[in-house]
Structures are given as C-alpha cells and as structure tokens.
C-alpha cells in the first residue's frame, strides 16, 4: 500500500480526505530537516508540503523510494526541482486554490496603506485620538500598476476595477488585445508604467528577470508618492532600495507579505512609517487552505494509485 508523509501543517479537510482514502496510509511529520528529513523521505512513496519544509538537493539526493511531492499551494521554490527530477520524483502543485485569498490580501494591504489602518489602530490603543496625522488617500480614480497578469494578478485587476481604479499591466505572456478586453492597458516594459502609477503590485514568480524588479534605478523613474505591494515572492523588491525610497519620501508606502528569507523577523523595513507587513498570510484563509489541501491529497493519491 502506498504511504504518504505530510511535511507541513495541512487543513483538517485534507487530513480527513487522507483518513477516508482507500488503499493509502499516511503519517504527519512536520518540522523535519537535515538527516531526519532525508531518512523520513526514504520511508514514503509520496509527500505533501506547504512552504515550511525545504526539500534541498541534500535531502533528496539518493532517495530510492519517494515517487511524488505535491505542494499545497502555488510556489514550488522550496523544492529543488533539478534534484527531484534526478531522483525520479515528480513535483506537482495546486495553483488555483489560493488565488482569490491572495488577491484579497493584496487589496487589503492596499487599503491598509492608503488609510494608515495599522498605525492608526496602534496610536488609538496607545491612548491618542489623532485624526490629523492619519489623513489617507482614496483608491477610486487612482492608477494601479500590476506586474504579472496570471491568476492572482487578474483577480486583483477585476477587484481593483470594481473599486474604480485605472489599470496598467505588464506581463510578457499577455496580448494587448486580451489585456484591453479585461480593462487593462498593457505596457511593453515595467519601466513604462513607473512614472504613471499611484500603486504598484507584483504577482510574478521570483526569477532572474523579476529579482530586484523594484530597485534604486526603478525608484528614480517611479511616480513620487507611489505605494508598493508585494504578495508574491520576497526578492522581487530590493528592500534596501525601498528603505531609501521611504526615507527620502519618494515612496508613499510599502506593504510586504513576503521576504527574501523566511521566516523573517528582522526586515530593515519593519517599524518604518508607512510600511505594513504581514508574515506570508496571502493564502492563510480557511477557504484557501481547505482547497489547496483537498486538491493536494486528490492529486497525490491519484498519482500513487494510477501513476497519472
Ligand atoms: P501565475 O503563474 O498564474 O501568474 C504569474 C504570472 O507572472 C504569469 O502570467 C506570467 O506570465 C507572469 N510573469 C512571469 N515572468 C514575468 C515577468 N518577468 N514580468 C511580468 N510578468 C511575468 O501565478 P499566480 O498563481 O498568479 O501566483 C503569482 C505569485 O504569487 C507566485 O510567485 C506565487 O508563488 C505567489 N503567491 C503568493 C502567495 C502568498 O501567500 N503571498 C499565495 C499564492 C501565490
Ligand atoms: C504559495 O505559493 O502558494 C503561497 O506562497 C502560499 C503559501 O505558501 O502558503
């Protein structure tokens, strides 16, 4: 009977599906690393993870048993795909289950930045009634730049359109006609949108092209007062450049859900004025976690039973 190891926390609905699955057994073993992880992986035919566990070449090399790993979520950047392929391990993900939750988080961060919600809350609970200090900005009528028009980028676009924002987008795989039909003006490069956007949100993977997409050079071209949001992957914004941009007043604000190294408890931006940060919560809703867990269990059990 094929057996499955669950390497990160999985929603109760995913575990219930594993309990009910016929012809497979499973164990939950979270928090593993190093030799303990390597030897555990050799005891199972399939694995389910989120982003907590790191499946590095060291732990995958020499594995003779594991046939598949499913990431309950989008990004598979915590799994070394080259090492997995070398060991004959198939890597799968569940890309659609957390789209809406993550898009909603990006919009929530945009509102939080615009209306100073975290700072105003903090000031009030500390005993101050400071209405002047927290003058905000309205989103309607503002221009939002969206880099990456895939599942989450487009979900953000439709929500921002409902909020009466004007949309400019960049994605090398989107046609101008398709973008136009979605109410988005497509530009040929990110630089073209920088002088025009009041808000910029990124929804791409972290790649050689997107690493440091917002850097010192980009900040020279960006519209003064622009607010930036990253709910995609740490490293797409250069944090040192953001810090300078905030200190000089060129940037109106920065909201981050993701960091170059996670877990992250000491970003240079933490505690700065006009900065709102969350600890990688984009997909942390009951709905998203249920959906990705159920999809991950269905994918893995089907693969282990049928090879497809
Ligand atoms: P997706 O694959 O549907 O969309 C990504 C888009 O980025 C694609 O349309 C692609 O063409 C585009 N793209 C690739 N390279 C680009 C470049 N250089 N410039 C502009 N566009 C480029 O993925 P998705 O599901 O929308 O996820 C987007 C990102 O959000 C991923 O990095 C994913 O890991 C991350 N994510 C984060 C959370 C969270 O909790 N914060 C949750 C889910 C997903
Ligand atoms: C993802 O890529 O799916 C997200 O970053 C969400 C997560 O890791 O929970």
DSSP tag of 257: S
Distant-in-sequence, close-in-space partners of 253: CB < 8 Å, separation ≥ 6:
113, 114, 227, 228, 246, 274, 275, 276
Which tens digits make up the pLDDT trace of 121-154? 999 999 999 999 999 999 999 999 999 999 999 9
Among this protein's residues, is 65 annotated catalytic? Answer: no
Q: Is the CB of 95 under 6 A from ligand 1?
A: yes
Which tens digits make up the pLDDT trace of 223-261? 999 999 999 999 999 999 999 999 999 999 999 999 999
CA of 124 to the centre of ligand 2 (A): 33
Among this protein's residues, is 233 annotated catalytic? Answer: yes
Which tens digits make up the pLDDT trace of 3-32? 999 999 999 999 999 999 999 999 999 999
Q: How far apart are the first and last CA of the chain?
A: 17
Which among 262, 286, 295, 298 is annotated as catalytic? Answer: 262
Per-residue pLDDT at 307 exceeds 90: no
| Alpha-carbon span 13 to 188, nearest angstrom | 43
Instruction: Tell me the ligand closest to 280's alpha carbon.
Output: 1
Mean pLDDT of 29-41: 98
Our separate counts of H helices and E strands in the chain read 12, 12
DSSP string across 150-189: SHHHHHHHHHHHHTT-EEEEE-TTS-HHHHHHTTEEE-SS
Residue with the smallest CA separation from ligand 2 atom 5 is: 75
What is the best residue among 70, 71, 74, 102 to mutate for testing ligand 2's pocket, by most ligand atoms within 8 Å of CB?
Answer: 74
| Mutual angle of helices 151-162 and 99-114, in 10-degree steps | 50
Among this protein's residues, is 22 annotated catalytic? Answer: no
Tokens 């530009």 belong to residue: 187
| Alpha-carbon span 258 to 116, nearest angstrom | 20
| Alpha-carbon span 258 to 211, nearest angstrom | 13
Contact 28, 6 (CB under 8 A): yes
How far, in whole angstroms, is CA 242 from its chain's centroid?
Answer: 19
Contact 63, 55 (CB under 8 A): no
CA of 195 to the centre of ligand 2 (A): 31
Mean pLDDT of 181-191: 98
What is the best residue among 9, 52, 71, 73 to mutate for testing ligand 2's pocket, by most ligand atoms within 8 Å of CB?
Answer: 73
What is the best residue among 152, 175, 211 to mutate for testing ligand 1's pocket, by most ligand atoms within 8 Å of CB?
Answer: 152
Tokens 């040929």 belong to residue: 188
Mean pLDDT of 265-289: 97
Res 289: pLDDT: 97
| Mutual angle of helices 286-306 and 12-20, in 10-degree steps | 30
How far, in whole angstroms, is CA 131 from its chain's centroid?
Answer: 33
Mean pLDDT of 40-68: 97
| Alpha-carbon span 11 to 264, nearest angstrom | 23
Which candidate, 108, 150, 137, places its Cα nearest to that of 226?
Answer: 137
Q: How many Cβ atoms sit within 10 Å of the Cβ of residue 75?
A: 17
**Ligand 2 atom nearest 282 alpha carbon:** 6
CA of 76 to the centre of ligand 1 (A): 12
| Alpha-carbon span 161 to 156, nearest angstrom | 8
Q: Establish whether this prediction's ipTM goes over 0.85.
A: yes
| Alpha-carbon span 199 to 158, nearest angstrom | 15
């Amino acid at each position: 009977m094929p057996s499955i190891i669950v390497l990160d926390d999985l929603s109760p609905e995913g575990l219930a599906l594993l309990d009910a699955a016929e012809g497979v057994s499973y164990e939950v073993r979270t928090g593993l690393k190093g030799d303990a992880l390597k030897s555990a992986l050799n005891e199972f035919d399939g694995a389910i993870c989120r982003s907590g566990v790191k499946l590095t070449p060291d732990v995958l090399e020499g594995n003779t048993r594991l046939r598949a790993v499913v990431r309950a979520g989008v990004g598979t950047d915590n799994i070394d795909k080259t090492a997995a392929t070398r060991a004959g391990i198939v890597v799968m993900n569940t890309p659609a289950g957390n789209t809406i939750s993550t898009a909603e988080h990006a919009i929530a961060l945009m509102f939080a930045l615009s209306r100073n919600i975290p700072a105003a809350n903090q000031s009030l609970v500390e005993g101050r009634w400071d209405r002047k200090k927290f003058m905000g900005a309205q989103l309607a009528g503002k221009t939002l730049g969206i880099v990456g028009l895939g599942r989450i980028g487009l979900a953000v676009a439709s929500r921002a359109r409902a909020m009466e924002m004007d949309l400019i987008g960049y994605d090398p795989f989107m046609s101008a006609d398709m973008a136009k039909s979605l109410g988005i003006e497509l530009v040929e490069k990110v630089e073209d949108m920088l002088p025009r956007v009041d808000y910029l949100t990124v929804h791409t993977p972290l790649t050689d092209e997107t690493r440091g997409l917002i850097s010192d050079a980009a900040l020279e071209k960006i519209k003064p007062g622009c607010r930036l949001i990253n709910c995609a992957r740490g490293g797409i914004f250069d944090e040192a450049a953001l810090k300078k941009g905030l200190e000089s007043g060129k940037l109106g604000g920065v909201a981050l859900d993701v960091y170059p190294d996670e877990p992250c408890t000491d970003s240079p931006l933490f505690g700065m004025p006009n900065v709102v940060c969350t600890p990688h919560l984009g997909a942390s809703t009951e709905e998203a976690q249920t959906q990705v867990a159920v999809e991950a269990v269905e994918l893995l059990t089907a693969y282990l039973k049928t090879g497809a």
